[in-house]
Amino acid sequence: MSEDGLQHKRDSQDIKPGTYWASFGMFALVALVILIVGFELGLDPVIAGSDRARRCIEPVALLALTAAAAWLWTTRAPAYNLSFDRAAPAAWPIVCVISIVAFAATAITALYILDEYPMSGDEYAYLFQSWIFELGKLWTQPWPLDKYLDTFFIFNVGGKLLAAYPPGWPAVLAAASTAGIPVSLVNPILAAGTIPVLYVLGLRRYGAPTGLLAVCIFAGSAFFVMNSATFFTHPASTLFGLLFALAASEYLENPRVVPAIGAGVALSAVASTRHYDAVLLAIPAVVALVRRSSLAHWRLVPLVAISGLPARSLRTIGPPGTRC
């Protein structure tokens, strides 16, 4: 047996299945403790009120926990002896089934539990702007009662009545409605499409078992199911963000034209939907690019920037101080 094969076997024996799964259990337990303590101390973002500092404490703690867990899991020797690995050859059929189940679950939730009803002012704003786009306009004329629309984040800006959000998501809703797709099913469709993209990202970076595990954890999240049944932007920005991560990782691995264009277009889509998300995605990508310090990588950076220009043109539609 070759030296690589012997090392592979030794690595496989280093981590027992019980230890491997226990680490996931410990992560879930610590996350649950953070959520409970945050709720008891009034730090939950839902009940923390308008105090932005208090609202950020719990999410930052969860992000720090996730970052620490991700670092530990990616620096330890892979547990090749897990029975979970045997599912890898059949991963694509499993991923397809999970996508179908995710679509069914989110569509049923949207149609029969939420009753296709916008539950927040944000959702009304998205739908309002999408209706304007369907009429072939960027904004509409104000009327005497428009001051009562402020509650739904719809404002009169210089004689133009429009939503106070980036226009990317309303544009997606308008395009779907024009194509005859019910707007209540747009997010369930995007949710189903996100799952194979997530699997491919995990497959390309860490192998089929990791991709499949990521899909199972993601699709089993109540946050994923509920948000994918609403009119919120989260499913769209998640899909666009994963496409950017996939394209950027491919570009960093092997700088080529297609990944460069893909990264620019995907980041543009994120920026036109939730622009602060684009900043959070761009920072680690830029850091990784600087660490590479390769002429081949830097040569195509202008192409990435040019591919992202649509976000700048879309951004000009929104009012000053557009919410994310």
Helix (H, G, I), strand (E, B) or coil at 126: helix
- What local confidence, expressed as pLDDT, does residue 321 receive? 45
Specify the residue for token string 């679509």.
Answer: 103
Taking a C-beta distance cutoff of 8 angstroms, is the pair 102, 95 a contact?
no
Cβ contacts of 263 within 8 Å, gap of 6 or more: 244, 247, 248, 251, 285, 304, 307
Indicate the helix (H) or strand (E) that contains 155. strand 154-157
**DSSP line for 183-229:** GGGHHHHHHHHHHHHHHHHHHHHH-HHHHHHHHHHHHT-HHHHHHTT
pLDDT tens, residue order, the chain (324 aa): 444 444 444 444 444 555 656 776 777 788 878 878 877 787 776 666 667 777 788 778 888 887 787 777 666 544 444 444 444 555 788 889 999 999 999 999 999 988 888 888 788 888 888 888 888 887 777 776 666 566 666 776 777 777 778 888 999 999 999 999 999 999 999 999 999 999 999 888 888 888 888 888 888 888 898 899 999 999 999 999 999 999 999 998 888 889 889 999 999 999 888 888 888 898 888 888 888 767 888 888 888 888 777 665 655 555 544 555
Q: Is 162 helix (H, G, I), strand (E, B) or coil?
A: strand
What pLDDT score was predicted for residue 300?
85
Q: What is the reported pLDDT for 103? A: 94
287: left (phi over 0), alpha (psi -120 to 50) or beta: alpha
Phi, psi of 317 (to 5 degrees): -75, -40
Is the full-model pTM beyond 0.85?
A: no
Residue with structure tokens 């297609």? 258
How many whole angstroms separate alpha carbon 36 and alpha carbon 41?
9
Cα-only R_g, the chain: 22
| Residue 151 DSSP class | G
- Neighbouring CB atoms inside 10 A of 310's CB total 15
> Exposed, middle or buried by CB within 10 Å (0-12, 13-18, 19+), for 82?
middle
